[in-house]
Structure 1
């Protein structure tokens, strides 16, 4: 079967328009992130309040220690008073000793009560501090995740805007490049690889229609080939080829692997607008326009 179009022998240099400036950053609403920041601030204020309470408990503890020292001094006085200088003042000293002993016992009881309160308050505050610290750590982790996600989205948006400024087109989550010059299939694939992409695969009827509409009446190489094993078709980008699902995209009586007498069979596939934008197998060495695809999506046909 003869090729419908006579291709040009002289290759033209591929000149993709360069961006005239840095791509505009795309702002993304981050209400959830802002809410988490407010929560983190509130938790930080709670930590400050609990730290103040802990300071107050610490001061109470030192006061209790001071009273304990006073009790120790009272006990020392009691010990001194129990050593009589002579028999005459023994009775008086016993009376004073009993009074000092009562004061010491009262001081010990009060000290025990205060230390019990201090211990309970200290334990409660420490528990609250641990809970708040754990919550603060969780919020901080979430904020880090949000920041990383935001950076990733901004990076992707910047990448897409750069590609669009250089003539690529966005459709269905993928980026496509429709060449203006003509190359053999291998050279076309090399160009796509240099742009971090491959000759396009086709994942659905919707994508087929998009590629057909954007071909503008010109035949374009796509990334389908049966090189290696005749009749075993594969997408060059690694997408699985499903023969039954793609049958409707072939021209009538295609593929036919027609020998053109030009040094090879037909092992590469093109979209031909002159034939209702359907697929035709052709000799890979013939020059044609091509379509690159930088994919982010679904399994192919």
Structure 2
């Protein structure tokens, strides 16, 4: 019995675990649904991130183009600044060249005047003999001075003029280059403004993208929290499923134990049924013994009382009623044989009667009367209703055919009958 109790306890524990797992089914479905919804949101977020990434790439390309233009502008501005730094020196060189040009022009004018004077001089007349040496000396001195001045002028022109011209050409070239650079810078002005506008628009878009990224980051954090919660539930469910798997591993052994328990239970039920039948028989025997001790006899589930005193048929019926019985009925050949043998050849009233001369025979305990069967139990020639007053039946002889009709006022022994009803345990 202890083994059966343990098996029942194990089966109950297994049932409770399976019920717990079954109860977790809706939670699993709910968490699965939450995970699927999180997956859909993650896919949407990934699509948004892809779009944002594309926009960032476009903005990056625009910013790189703007940076390239800005780099070019920066280099041009550096060239302009370099030229601006050279302008003061060029101005000084121009001033010096202007001064030298003025001096050269003055020297040229002086040379032209000297040449003009030389062309205007006539051949000298023959001087007086006393004055010739003095005039010759003066003329020679003047000619030497003029030659020296002319040589100096030519030397200056040969030396300074190419330098002045080269310097002026360099200044003109630098000025032309400066003008071209300035024109280029001026031409790049609208492009700079356009690129500046593009950079500002790119900045606005970058801000929007940052805002979108912040929102996406918030959603990702929410999704991460949801996924963590789902993972926690899944972990719990996994642990429960591990318990279930452990229980499933125990199921074959438990089934064997249950089969053994079932066999034992069947045997126990058989034993219990046998014990109940035995107890029932014992109670029945106790009831029978108690009734027998009171003068009753037991046959096939009924108690019979064979009286020791004589009474009329009606008085006998009243006596039986007072004992919770009726005058006996006969329903089988075996019962008929029991009754006439126990009667021992003495006349005993039975519970068969009829109403009036032409009435039908009936059992007083409302048992249905079988006319065909009863023909085997009447004495030959009976019932004859002798004197038209024989309305009650009795067992007259010790034989299967022992019934006889007689007047109901006659006094005979009688037989009471009541069914056996088992007392409550």
Q: 1:111 maps to which residue?
A: 232
In the alignment, the residues of structure 2 paired with residue 287 and residue 52 of structure 1 have an alpha-carbon distance, to the nearest angstrom, of 79
In the alignment, the residues of structure 2 paired with residue 175 and residue 41 of structure 1 have an alpha-carbon distance, to the nearest angstrom, of 48
In the alignment, the residues of structure 1 paired with residue 409 and residue 286 of structure 2 have an alpha-carbon distance, to the nearest angstrom, of 36
TM-score normalised per structure 2:
0.38
Deviation by residue 1:128-147 (Cα, 9 ceiling, x = unmatched) = 9xxx9xxxxxx9xxx9x97x
Contact preservation (8 Å) 1:54, 1:122:
no
Q: How many residues align?
A: 200
Q: 2:320 maps to which residue?
A: 192
Q: 1:43 maps to which residue?
A: 8
In the alignment, the residues of structure 2 paired with residue 204 and residue 170 of structure 1 have an alpha-carbon distance, to the nearest angstrom, of 16
**2:413 pairs with 278, 283, 289, which one?**
289
Deviation by residue 1:241-264 (Cα, 9 ceiling, x = unmatched) = 1212211211122112222xxxx8
**1:273 pairs with 397, 400, 403, which one?**
397
Q: 1:225 maps to which residue?
A: 353
Q: 1:83 maps to which residue?
A: none
Q: Does the residue aligned with 1:160 lie in a helix, a strand or coil?
A: helix
Once the 2 structures are TM-superposed, how far is the Cα of residue 111 of structure 1 from its aligned partner?
Answer: 2.7
Q: Does the residue aligned with 1:251 lie in a helix, a strand or coil?
A: coil
Q: Does the residue aligned with 1:225 lie in a helix, a strand or coil?
A: strand
Contact preservation (8 Å) 1:212, 1:277:
no
Bigger relative contact order, structure 1 or 2, given CA contacts below 8 A and separation 6+? Answer: 1
Change (3 A) 1:283 1:110: same
Change (3 A) 1:252 1:118: same
In the alignment, the residues of structure 2 paired with residue 278 and residue 172 of structure 1 have an alpha-carbon distance, to the nearest angstrom, of 21
Q: Does the residue aligned with 1:176 lie in a helix, a strand or coil?
A: strand
Change (3 A) 1:41 1:239: farther
In the alignment, the residues of structure 2 paired with residue 296 and residue 120 of structure 1 have an alpha-carbon distance, to the nearest angstrom, of 60
In the alignment, the residues of structure 2 paired with residue 226 and residue 39 of structure 1 have an alpha-carbon distance, to the nearest angstrom, of 63
Once the 2 structures are TM-superposed, how far is the Cα of residue 118 of structure 1 from its aligned partner?
Answer: 4.4
Alpha-carbon RMSD: 4.7
- Structure number having the greater helix percentage: 2
Q: Does the residue aligned with 1:186 lie in a helix, a strand or coil?
A: helix
Change (3 A) 1:53 1:258: closer
In the alignment, the residues of structure 2 paired with residue 157 and residue 184 of structure 1 have an alpha-carbon distance, to the nearest angstrom, of 33
Q: Does the residue aligned with 1:266 lie in a helix, a strand or coil?
A: coil
Deviation by residue 1:132-187 (Cα, 9 ceiling, x = unmatched) = 9xxxxxx9xxx9x97xx778776555433321221211112222111111111111
Moved more, 43-52 or 271-280: 43-52
Q: 1:251 maps to which residue?
A: 379
Moved more, 41-50 or 161-170: 41-50
Change (3 A) 1:47 1:166: same
Gaps of 5+ in 1: 1-33, 56-100, 133-138
Once the 2 structures are TM-superposed, how far is the Cα of residue 276 of structure 1 from its aligned partner?
Answer: 7.1
Moved more, 268-277 or 198-207: 268-277
Change (3 A) 1:54 1:231: closer
**1:179 pairs with 307, 310, 317, which one?**
307
Q: Does the residue aligned with 2:360 lie in a helix, a strand or coil?
A: coil
TM-score normalised per structure 1:
0.52
Contact preservation (8 Å) 2:378, 2:403:
yes
Contact preservation (8 Å) 1:197, 1:293:
yes
